[in-house]
Amino acid sequence: MKKLILILSILSYFLSAKSQNITGVSKAYSFNIQKKIIPPILVVKEGSVKFSDNDHNGRLDAYESATLSFVIQNIGEGPAYGLKSFVEISSNITGLEIEKNQLINTIYSGKSEYVSVPIRANQFLSTGKVNMVINVKEPNGLDCNPIEVSFNTLQFQEPKIEIVDGVFSTANGSDMFEKKNPAKLNLVIQNTGQSKTDGIFVEIASPNDVIPLNGNSFSIGSLSPGESYRIPFDFIATNNFSKESVNFSVVAKEGYGKYGSSRNFSVKIHQKLDASKLVVQSDQFKQTKIKRDYLSSDVDREIPKNDRKYSYRYALVIGNEDYTSKQTNLSQEVNVAFARNDANSFKNYLISTLGFEKEHVMVINDATSAEMNREIDLLVRLAKNDPKSEIVFYYAGHGLPDDNKFPYLLPVDVSTINLTTGGISLSKLNSKLANSNAKKITIFLDACFSGGGRDQGLLAARGVKINPKEQTSLGNMIVFASSSGEERSLPYDEKQHGFFTYFLLKKLKETKGSVNFFELSKYLEKEVVRSTLLKKKLQQTPHTNISPKVKDTWKTWSFR
């Protein structure tokens, strides 16, 4: 009963409160809510600013492209949004094509972004210096420091694609150009201008009944200033070819279409050619900083001309280079490098510069024992038949001493086994020539007699080196010998001659043949010794043997 009374009382209280009207105003409060800003900090990575041009010479040339690159780092805690790069140029250089404005990707805290600005120079580029400022802008002004760059420019320099040299050679080792025998025209194409060019190709037009064996169009690509490219053009003249000479027209073109050149080359049917270097046809040097890449040595070009002829002069010129063709048991190393070239070039100087009649100069290359003896006897008979005669004997090839150290010239079919029966005794040669009664006898020997040849002597395999006995000059005789004692007569590889013959020809060219024998002797000794020491680290000392009969007059002897 008490519980019931308590429940009713509580219920009555709530009903009474609900029926009353309650009014009032609560106190107002305000709140300031702020967002925290975390800025980026942009810097250029140290050492990242780089200028790179196509030919890597640090200069922008006409028609060249380059890139200016750098790395932007964000070392702040906030990200960098909405970045842009702006390029400003303060110099008056024309012909520049630059992408001046770029968007840069967002760079988050601790990250970096590589930026590359393309630059290109057109044909109107002027020479000077470009001063450039690159600004990387951030929308809130939190830019990185400006990047300052300067580089040089060079206006267009014309290239010049020249056909610098052309040499005919046989392809089968023969010394004669004939129909139905493969032959070769070796060409040197060189950029003698001052800028690189590409799209270079060469076309060779050949006559009817002459068949190109490896095509007549050759793509070279690009050549930088001074760079050269060699083309071996193989061909064969058929039996239907009816003209006396085979003429080729060679055209070199390049990408600009106006800096190429053309030249003509020809070779006669039945023309006698050396199997390794033939019919050199080349231009004169021009005043240019480019060193032209010739196939031939400087002494083989622009040989001085002398119109005066001396009908009483006779010469025998021998170049023994190939010993392995006649002696198959020998290795290629025993061949005498450039001996044929030595002989052929000396012949050219005899005829063109020193006044010898062409018919009076006998030349034999790779001569056998029989051939050498026959031509020596002919030279002596010609001299005896002419009371005013002057004779010249030139030999390039191997020399060898016998067991008693007496020196011999070595025909290509003679070895150490039959040296004394087949070789040409230097003592007997001197006697034969002296008995010709010639008024002047001049001998040039580009050979050594110690058993050491230009590359490898015939005695080198046995480790033998001999100091040969000195031979006495006889009659009206002067002997210019290329080396002394145990020395080797060395090849001058880059000049394609023996050292001795190269400097002999060089002096004849420089003086146009007007040099006396004393001056020639001193010049050869000085230049050959110096050059062989510098180039080969070996000493080769030319010496001159004078006959007692002319010891008081030889110094004033000369060919002109």
Nearest in space to 443 (alpha carbons), one of 406, 512, 395, 407: 395
Nearest in space to 216 (alpha carbons), one of 235, 230, 198: 235
> What's the CA gap between 341 and 327, in Å, rounded?
21
Q: Write the pLDDT tens digit of every residue in 163-187.
A: 998 988 886 666 688 999 999 999 9
> What's the CA gap between 357 and 344, in Å, rounded?
15
Nearest in space to 407 (alpha carbons), one of 462, 469, 320, 345: 469
More confident residue, 285 or 340: 340
Q: What's residue 10's pLDDT?
A: 52
Q: Write the pLDDT tens digit of every residue in 419-438.
A: 999 999 999 999 999 999 99
213: Cα separation from own chain's centroid: 26
306: Cα separation from own chain's centroid: 33
> What's the CA gap between 140 and 40, in Å, rounded?
10
Q: Which of 26-40, 269-283, 330-344 has the lowest mean pLDDT?
A: 269-283
Q: Write the pLDDT tens digit of every residue in 341-358.
A: 999 999 999 999 999 999
16 pLDDT more than 70: no
Tally the C-alpha atoms within 13 A of residue 324's C-alpha that lie toward its C-beta: 9
Q: Write the pLDDT tens digit of every residue in 2-14.
A: 555 555 555 555 4
Distances from the Cα of 166 to the Cα of 230, 340, 538, angstroms: 10, 19, 34
Distances from the Cα of 261 to the Cα of 126, 161, 181, angstroms: 27, 6, 30
More confident residue, 373 or 27: 373
For the chain, give the mean pLDDT: 86
Band the pLDDT of 280: cuts 50, 70, 90.
Answer: very low
Q: Write the pLDDT tens digit of every residue in 225-258.
A: 889 999 999 999 999 999 999 999 999 999 989 9
Q: What's residue 460's pLDDT?
A: 38
Q: What's residue 553's pLDDT?
A: 94
Number of separate helices (H) and strands (E) present in the chain: 7, 30
Q: Span 42-154: which CATH code? A: 2.60.40.10
Q: What's residue 276's pLDDT?
A: 39
461 pLDDT more than 50: no
Segment 323-329 mean pLDDT:
84
What angle is formed at CA 368 by the lines to CA 366 and CA 374, rounded to 5 degrees? 115
- Quick one: tokens of 69? 């690159």
CATH superfamily, domain 161-296, is Immunoglobulins (2.60.40.10)
HEC readout, 511-522: HCCCCEHHHHHH
- Each domain of the chain, given as residue ranges in start order, spans 42-154, 161-296, 313-556
Domains 42-154 and 161-296 share a fold: yes
Indicate the class that CATH gives domain 313-556.
Answer: alpha beta
Count CB-CB contacts under 10 A for residue 171.
15
